[in-house]
Structure 1
C-alpha cells in the first residue's frame, strides 16, 4: 500500500515523499482514514511505529482549509493542541508538523518548561494554528492570558500513559476544562491500562480503536543480545565493543544521572566522543547533546530513562543497556529507540551478577530468553557474589551504591523532561 491510497492531499504527499517514505506503517494505514473522517481515536502503539505521522498528517489536512498567509494574529487562532509528556517529544512532534506541513501555510510552535517563557509568549501572540505543549508550561501560559482555545478543533494526547506516570493527571484535567467539548480527540499510548481507559471514557466520544503492537512486545526488528560481564569491567567492555566493532551513534542507558555523567567522562578519556543527557542538564545543554548526536559529532549519547521515550532519531542502529532498568517495561521503551520505521536495530545489554533477577523479569515480560554472548576476554568471574542494587548515587557501573538505599518511588527523579506536577515537587511546572 502507498500513501496515495489514504486520501491525503497532494501537498502532504509531496512532503512525505521528500522524506523518503513510500509506504505507510500499519498504524498510519489504520489511523489516517479514521482521523480524516473526524472520529475520536484511541491508538495503542509503541514508539517507532510511525504514530506521530499517523496523527499529524490527517490533522494537517483537516486544518488546511483554514490555511492563510495573513500577518494578522486573529487569522491564526489555535485550532489544534498536542500534549506531550516531555520537552524532547514536544520538539520532535512540532518538527514533524513543520516537516509534513511545509507546503501548507499553517503556523505551529511548541511550549515547554526549562527555558525562558518570553519567546514562547511572543510566538503565541503572533498567532499559531497548531500548538505542541507540555502540560505544566501550558498552564503557565494560560495563567498569563496567552492562550485562547475557543476555536480549537483537534486535541491530541501523545504518550498518555507516560503523562499519567509523571503525575500530570490533574494538569490534564484542568486543560480539558479549558477546551471546547465539540472537538476531535486523539489519544495515543503504549499501553491501555485501566487508568488510561477510565480517562478516555470521560472525554472521548465513541472512539475508534487502533492497536498495532501487542502490549509489552519488543520491536521485532531489534536484535537483542546479553553480554555477561563483571560489574567492574562494564566500561571496558563497552569501550571494546564500540571500538572493535566500529559502532557509530550508540545510545547508552544508565540508571542514574551521576552514572550517566561518570560514564560519559570515562568514554571521553577512552577517546570515544560522548555526551550525557538527563534531567539535571539545562534545556540548551540537552538540545545541543541531541543535535550533536544526530549529526554524528558525538558518537555516544549516555542517557537516563528521560530518553527512553520521545527521542526520535532516524535509523538509530545501536542501544546499549549499560545497566538494566529496575522496571521491566522500561526495557521495552529503551530498546524501542532502535528498529524504527522498518529499519533493523541492535540492543545490547551488559549484565553483571547483581542484575540476574532484573534480567529474568525482563525475559518473563518478553516471554522468551535472550541470547547470551560472552565476549572473549570479558567472561565474568563466577566467584564474585551479587550485591544489592540501590538507587542512590551509582558507582562505576554494576549495581553498587555509595548512598543509602531508598524506595524506588522516593529515589525517582522529577518527571522526565518537564518538571511537572509530582508528589515530590508540589506545584513545580518546569518554569
Structure 2
C-alpha cells in the first residue's frame, strides 16, 4: 500500500468529506447538514488516507460519554465517517485506518470504541460486536387500540416550535441518559442534531413538528414527528413518522403516544430507532398489526479488556476467568479474572484455569447487557470450560432494561 495516513487538517475537510459523500452514493448533503458535521468534526481524532494529493479514505471518532450497566457514564470513542474510495478497494486501507485508530485510542487511555454500521458485516473482523438493537414498527392506528394508564388526562400537551423548545427537550434527554445502557450524553453542539430537517429528505412529509408533555408547568416529555399526508379511494391514509420520543415517566410517555395515535387524517404511526423493550408494545391490543422488526444499532469494541469490564457493574455477583482471543489487538489476549457485583468490579490478568472461552467480539456484544452470553454460546461463539460459569456470567452481565442508542452519529 502506497497511501499515507495522516491526521486531518481543517483546510482539507471539504475534500475529505466529499470522499465520504461519494462512498455513500454521491448525493451531496444539504448545506445545513454539512455545517453541522464540520462543526462536530474533531480534527485531531480524524484520519485521512491519501494517495498523493488524492484523499482515498476517511475515518474519525467523537469523544463521547456512554452509559454502561450500573448507570455510570464512561468515555467512549464514537467511530464515524468511515469510507474508502471505490478506486482503492482491496488495498488494506480500511484495515490500516482501523489499526491506527485503535492504537491511537489505546495510547490515549480510551478503553471503549463504539459505532453504527452502514453494513453490519464489516466490523466484526476488527473486534466489534453488536451490543444493542433498535425497534422499528408500522402501526395500523385504525385497528390497533391503546390502553393507557391512569393519570394520562392530567398531562397537558402543547404544540411547540422544535427550535424554540430545544432546551426543554434537551433537559428531558439529559435526565434520561443514565436510565439505559448505550445512551450518549450530548456534548455542546449535539443539540443541533435533532433539528436537522432538510426538505430533500422528508419524503413528502411535513417539516419536523414538536409536541411537549407538561405537568404542573414542567416539561416532562416531548415528541418530534412529521406527518405525511396520503389518500386512498376510501379516504385519508396519512402516516405519523415519529423521529424522537422521550418522557420522564410512563404516564407522560403514554400521553404522547396517545396524541400521535390520534393525529387527524392519518391511519398509521411509523417508528424506528426505538428500544426493543419500548413500553408502548404493552399498551396495544394487537401487536401483530404493529409489524415490529429489529435492526442492529450500537456495535461495541473493548479497546482494553480490563478497564472496560471494570467500568460497569454487574447485576449479580460474578467471579469468572475468561480466555480472550483478540488477533487484531493482541494486548487483550489471554486470561482475565472478572470479579464484581452491583457495587463495582475488578478485572485483572491471571494464570488461573479459564472458565469461559470467547473472543473480544463476544465481550463487546454482551457488554451493555442486551445480548446474553448464553445466546452467544448457543451460536457456538462462547465455550463453557467450567460447569455453571456460563449462566453465572450471563446473569451478571445482564441489564434490567434493554440498551438503547437514541440517535446515530
More strand by share: 2
More helix by share: 1
Calculate the TM-score normalised by the size of structure 2.
0.30
